[in-house]
Amino acid sequence: MEQSTAHVAVLGVGLMGSRMARNLLAAGFPVIAWNRDRTKAESLVAQGATVAATPAEAASRGVVIVTMLANGPVVESVLFGTEGAAEAVSPGALVIDMSSAPPELARDHARRFAARGIAYLDAPVSGGTVGAEQGNLAIMVGGDHAAFERAAPVFAPLGRATLVGPAGSGQIAKLANQAIVAVTIGAVAEALLMAAMGGADPAAVRDAIMGGFADSRVLTLHGKRMILRDFIPGGPADHQVKDCATIVATAQAAGLTLPFAETALALFRDLVAHGGGRYDHSALLLELERRNPPARLGIAPDRLPA
């Protein structure tokens, strides 16, 4: 796939998609950008993108169509609903859904595109806005090997891509990732709050733990957010609710009970119910503090989204 000729349509250029589109442009791909809020697509023009008025227009012009949308229902609406993008995709094109969506939706979309001679990959990501900015996202890919090899030049500027199985498997891997993230955020929040209320310096406790068996990127990044009380997203809590609900539903469909995931879902739902839907998911700390008055981690003021 030659960068000079492979036009990439990016449907959804919000927090994640805009950064990914910039990396594609920097790698030499011509990018056609669409976003429901057109100003977000227009912000990429200075880097060389062209703006499409509709998702169907963008899809009709792309050799590769990348979707980075809010959730499964939005993906369904943009591709196969009233937006009509799927009908505009040319046979022989490659569709890569990098949104987070239910695995069964990815499998259905793979079947529908295959019937029209269109290759499809589900390729959700992990790494947040920092990973998108730096081009080091973890990309979990479901689909066939030929499509994965074809997509490799597109994935390269975005991060590290791994083929994990047939269609839908990328979304399964993302759910596994999100289960670990959600439960670990809760564990880090509980541990740091316990340290603070037990009389230890939570920042020093975090430093002491790092490098040991309990170390993780959640402790490193979100633990720091909790200590600084910086809850500007990042990954919004309402997205974590969506992912946790999908984890629990997918597990139940497979006959599994996942008590840690179910507890994380309940906690994140309560955080959202108390106004924290647009806070970073590290703000799960606030829900724990709400349940344990007057417990509080540190004296810094909360940094919250407007």
* 227-280 pLDDT per residue, tens: 999 999 988 999 999 999 999 999 999 999 999 999 999 999 999 999 999 999
Cβ–Cβ under 8 Å, residues 65 and 59: yes
Do 244 and 224 share a domain, yes or no?
yes
| Domain, as residue range, for 275 | 172-291
Looking at residue 1, its pLDDT comes to 54
* 3-39 pLDDT per residue, tens: 456 899 999 999 999 999 999 999 999 999 999 999 9
Do 18 and 155 share a domain, yes or no?
yes
Q: Does the residue 301 lie in any domain?
A: no
Cβ–Cβ under 8 Å, residues 282 and 222: yes
User: What span, in angstroms and rounded, lies between the C-alpha atoms of 195 and 297?
Assistant: 9
Please identify, among 166, 184, 214, the residue that sits at the C-terminal boundary of a domain. 166
Looking at residue 65, its pLDDT comes to 98
Task: Compute the mean pLDDT over every residue in the chain, rounded to the nearest whole number.
Answer: 96
Do 84 and 223 share a domain, yes or no?
no
**Is 40 part of the annotated catalytic residue set?**
no
Tokens for 219, please give them: 């402790």
Q: Does the residue 1 lie in any domain?
A: no
Do 43 and 150 share a domain, yes or no?
yes
Ramachandran sector of residue 246 (left: φ over 0; alpha: ψ -120 to 50; beta: rest): alpha
Catalytic residue among 40, 174, 224, 242: 174
* 105-119 pLDDT per residue, tens: 999 999 999 999 999
* 39-59 pLDDT per residue, tens: 999 999 999 999 999 999 999
Do 157 and 20 share a domain, yes or no?
yes
Looking at residue 257, its pLDDT comes to 97
* 175-234 pLDDT per residue, tens: 999 999 999 999 999 999 999 999 999 999 999 999 999 999 999 999 999 999 999 998
Cβ–Cβ under 8 Å, residues 8 and 31: yes
CATH number of the domain where residue 108 is located: 3.40.50.720
Please identify, among 166, 195, 229, the residue that sits at the C-terminal boundary of a domain. 166
